[in-house]
Chains A and B, each alone.
Chain A
Amino acid sequence: MAAAVAACRLVTALSRGLGTGAGSNFPGRVSLRIEPRATRLLAGGLEHGCIVVSGTNGKTTTANMLAGILRQAGFAPVHNRAGANLISGITAALAQSSNLRGRPAGDIGLFEVDEATLPKALERLHPHLIIITNLFRDQLDRYGELESLGRKMSAGIARMSPDTELLLNADDPLVATLGEAGGLEKIYFYGIEYEGYGTMALEHASDSTHCRVCGALLDYSVVYFGHMGKYTCANCGAGRPIPDFAATRLEIEGMDRTEVAMQSPFGSLKLEVKIPGLYNVHNALAAASGALLLGIEAEAIHTGLAGYATAFGRAERIQAEGREIFLVLSKNPAGFNEVIRTIGSQGGDGLRLVIALNDLIADGRDVSWIWDVDFEDLAVRADRVVATGLRAPDMALRMKYAGMPADRIELERDLERALARGIAMTPTGETLFALTTYTATLALRRVMQRKGYVSHFWKEKADA
């Protein structure tokens, strides 16, 4: 064990020194090579056990929000960061925070887990709380179809001991059924009851709009985004579970602040969410509900959430050359549509955008999904777009077919030059929106580090 932990630390230190990344998956693979049971053994040493957060969108944000609340409440969470959410990344987080005897420095594990890895992670971590945010089509070439992904997750959950707590998003028809296969006794639901910010039409990108019981098309009385909403099946009567933890009222105040009134079995509380988008209300709701289930007080939840700094790259405001860059990781149709809706709700026209599309394995090799995004809604608000990344021409073409005149679309494959072009076309004091896929976010952030617009992200996190 000592060798596994030592090797992991050494490799992490080396990769940081070489600037190859913030020590994510590789060090964990090294320690698993030396001690295959490393994950289980290290996790077993955590005094308050483990919490697992999984789902397509929002798992990083939810886990980070919950980490902030846990720290506020006096816990010392061991937490995997920056999307290192496979077994190797979880093991690395555990090893890096452990002494050479394999005793962790923290007292509670908080792990975001890749959806496809969930069964394996559950088996090794034995969490006492599992939170599932949502399931969207995301890189189907890697994950296989949503349906079979749901079956695998459900089977993994069913193997847990009956007193495991399961917290599910009631507003996602597929997620809401994930606890039905097993004998779990403590299944809870969270959801948005307030209908003021929903719409009535399902977006094109909606994935899961069929009844899980009989296959009939679901009736939605309100849609929040994607296939999140209030639904029932007119055919067989199956429907959305009543949320135990419910957002009963929302006040959205621009891009910076949403106030949420929340009801729960532990009483009512107020949340303050300082990042934009209805999907972040779901994330905050998941984090707050999880914290309540752990017995954390309302005050610590409110303070922990309000102090939440955005997860690296998910939505960041960066000052550069007298402009503000609003950088958002946008990785699949549902996420992208919500970003577009959020930018739209700011009321701005004449937007300037850099959109970066990469097709590496972590982005998904298949770029077809950009045709499921409602770029038409962005095209009418955009003044100029710089399309960049490895599949820049695909992105430029998408904007052309979304209705933007070709002479307002610039094609620049190189990210650094695309960023410079974006800054140049944005007047001083105004905002440049950068919507970027996963590896493009990392690459763009490296460019911004070199330029001195941002610092290295693990340094920021160490201070957090």
Chain B
Amino acid sequence: MLETAVAETSAAAETGAMAEMTLRICHLYPELMNIYGDRGNIIALRKRCEWRGLELEVTGLSIGREVDPDAYDFYFIGGGQDREQILVASDLVNMKGAALRQAAAEGAGFLGICGGYQLLGKYFLTYTGETLPGIGIFDAWTEGAEKRFIGNMVIEWEPAAGGKQTLVGFENHSGHTYLGPDMKPLGRVIKGFGNNGEDGTEGCCAGNAIGTYLHGSLLPKNPRLADEIILAALKRRYGMDSLPPLDDTLEERAHEAAVRRT
């Protein structure tokens, strides 16, 4: 008890006003869309907030629960297997779609990985010819294909702060995603397949919403992207425009190791 109190005080002293701040994350379908270590992204956001004395509240919302679009700063949805993705698609469109589109329009952050990314687009046309609706936060659509894109991937990414960086991860998807004319990809493929294996694009950005096929998990090994997501949320809610830096030596080494193994 005493130890906890001391730790909190010193964290507050170091980070000043940040200790008063709370970010609220909505984790969509945590038990259904959780393939390929997706929860590592939540762990990364939680730790990177905690190390800065920021509080992070994570709320899991699954099938049958409505979304209050004002209640969260950031929404996360991971990938799932076919059966799970079908279950989720109908709930997402019918129960949560309107609220999520409103939240996105008002600048809330989104991160959709793999299957989650596909559901944030307009639709998924499966290889067997069925259409799975999406919620249309991205002007993007996905078509099922026979060939599965599997392997390590490196992309070139331009952070909001400027410059060029790499993002690393692992892709494993049979859906090929195509972006509408006004959509910006998350980055350009250096190694791997990306959205569709044809046009060199990977992922999609619209406002503060990001979709990508990169898992691995994505955020622990790409700490700059994790911090960009945290900062965007802090800016929107508290008007902050910078984050105290962290020691990312280990993160950078894991990033480099992943680039080397690609």
Instruction: Report which A residues bind B (CB closer than 8 A).
Output: 137, 140-141, 144-148, 202, 204, 206, 209-210, 215, 217, 359, 365-372, 390-394, 396-398, 400-401, 406, 409, 411
Contact B43 A369 (CB under 8 A): no
Contact, CB under 8 Å: B257 / A141: no
CB within 8 Å for A394 and B82 given contacts A365-B151, A368-B215, A369-B37: no
Most chain A CB neighbours (cut-off 10 Å) among B36, B37, B253: B37
Shortest C-beta distance, B191 to chain A (Å), equals 13
B87 CB to nearest chain A CB (Å): 6
**With A and B bound together, what is the CA distance between A393 and B221 in angstroms?**
10
Give 10 pairs: A residue, B residue, CB < 8 Å, sorted on A: A140-B35, A145-B82, A206-B31, A210-B84, A359-B261, A390-B261, A391-B258, A393-B254, A394-B254, A411-B250
Interface size on B, residues (CB 8 A): 38
For B20, what are the chain A residues with a Cβ–Cβ distance below 8 Å?
none
Q: Which residues of B contact A372 (CB under 8 A)?
A: 34, 37, 39-40
Closest B residue to A205 using CB positions: B34
Determine the distance from Cα of A390 to Cα of B82 in the docked complex, in whole angstroms.
Answer: 31
**Interface pair B35/A400, CB less than 8 Å apart:** no
Asked if A145 and B37 sit within 8 Å, CB to CB, the answer is no
With contact pairs A147-B82, A394-B221 given, residues A401 and B257 touching in the complex (Cβ less than 8 Å): no
Tell me whether A396 and B254 are in contact (CB under 8 A): yes
Report A324 CB to chain B, min CB distance, Å: 30
When C-beta atoms are compared, the residue in chain A nearest to B152 turns out to be A365
Interface residues in B153-182 by Cβ distance below 8 A to A read 170, 172
Residues from chain B with a CB closer than 8 A to the CB of A217 are 31, 63
Are A401 and B81 in contact, CB atoms less than 8 angstroms apart?
no
B150 contacts A141, C-beta separation under 8 Å: yes
Cβ–Cβ contact A393 & B256, under 8 A: yes
Q: How many CB-defined contacts (below 8 Å) exist between A and B?
A: 98
With A215-B87, A391-B257, A400-B250 as contacts: A368 and B216 at CB distance below 8 Å: yes
Give the chain A neighbours of B236 by CB distance below 8 A: none
List chain B positions with a Cβ less than 8 A from chain A: 31, 34-40, 43-44, 47, 63, 81-84, 87, 148, 150-152, 170, 172, 215-217, 220-221, 247, 249-251, 253-254, 256-258, 261
Bound together, the chains give a CA A141 to CA B170 distance in angstroms of 10
Do the beta carbons of A367 and B251 come within 8 Å of each other? Answer: no
Alpha-carbon separation in the docked complex, A91 to B217 (Å): 39
What is the bound-complex CA distance between A391 and B217, given in angstroms? Answer: 13
* Chain B residue with Cβ nearest A146: B81
A372 to B217, CA, bound (A): 10
Query: Is A371 a contact of B82 with CB atoms below 8 Å?
Result: no
Closest Cβ of chain B: how far from A430's Cβ, in Å? 27
Determine if A215 and B83 form an interchain contact, defined as CB atoms under 8 angstroms apart: yes
Is A397 a contact partner of B220 (Cβ separation < 8 A)? yes
Nearest CB to that of A137 among chain B residues? B35
In the bound complex, how far is the Cα of B84 from the Cα of A359, in angstroms?
27
Distance between Cα atoms of A209 and B83 in the complex (Å) = 12
A144 to B151, CA, bound (A): 13
| Contact partners of B247 in chain A: CB under 8 A | 406
- Determine the chain A residues whose CB is within 8 A of the CB of B43 once the complex forms: 371, 401
Q: Indicate if the CB atoms of B40 and A368 lie closer than 8 Å.
A: yes
B218 to chain A: closest residue by CB: A368
Which 10 A-B pairs have CB atoms at the shortest separation, nearest pair first? Answer: A371-B40, A371-B37, A368-B37, A393-B254, A393-B253, A368-B36, A393-B257, A397-B254, A366-B170, A145-B81
B44: A residues at CB distance < 8 A: 401
Q: Output the least CB separation between A362 and chain B (Å).
A: 15
Residues of chain B within 8 A (CB-CB) of A396 are 250, 253-254
Which B residues are CB-close (under 8 A) to A146?
Answer: 81
Checking B81, B151, B220, B253 against A147 with a beta-carbon cut-off of 8 angstroms, the contacting residue is B81
Q: Which residues of B contact A390 (CB under 8 A)?
A: 261
Give Cα distance in the complex from A209 to B36, angstroms: 16
**A-chain residues with CB within 8 Å of residue B257 when the two chains form the complex:** 391-394
* Shortest Cβ distance from residue A199 to the other chain B in the assembled complex, whole angstroms: 16
Residues of A within 8 A of B150 (CB): 141, 365-366
- Residue in A206, A209, A369 whose Cβ sees the most chain B Cβ within 10 Å: A369
- Once the chains are docked, how many angstroms separate the CA of A45 from the CA of B261? 46
* Contacts A148-B82, A367-B216 supplied; 10 other A-B pairs, CB < 8 Å: A140-B35, A141-B172, A206-B31, A210-B87, A366-B172, A368-B215, A392-B257, A394-B257, A397-B221, A398-B220
- Closest CB of chain A to B76's CB: distance in Å? 13
The smallest C-beta distance from A202 to any residue of chain B, in angstroms, reads 8
Q: Is the CB of A370 within 8 A of B172?
A: no
> Do A204 and B34 have beta carbons less than 8 Å apart?
yes
In the complex, which residues of chain B have a beta carbon less than 8 angstroms from the beta carbon of A202? 31
Among residues of A, the one whose C-beta sits closest to the C-beta of B31 is: A209
Q: Which residues of B contact A368 (CB under 8 A)?
A: 36-37, 40, 170, 215-217
Choose one: A210, A215, A397; the contact of B250 (CB below 8 Å).
A397
Smallest Cβ-Cβ distance to A406: which chain B residue: B250
Residues of A close to B148: CB separation below 8 A:
144
**Closest CB in chain A relative to B51 CB, distance in Å:** 10
**Partner among B38, B217, B221, B253 whose Cβ is within 8 Å of the Cβ of A411:** B253
Q: Report whether A366 and B36 are in contact in the complex, using a CB–CB cutoff of 8 Å.
A: yes
B251 touches A397 (CB 8 A): yes
Alpha-carbon distance A369/B221, docked complex (angstroms): 14
In the bound complex, what is the Cα–Cα distance between A371 and B170 (angstroms)?
A: 13
Residue of A nearest to B257 (CB): A393
Q: Is A210 touching B253 in the complex (CB atoms < 8 A)?
A: no
- How far apart sit A372 and B44, CA to CA, in the bound complex (Å)? 13
**A210: B residues at CB distance < 8 A:** 83-84, 87
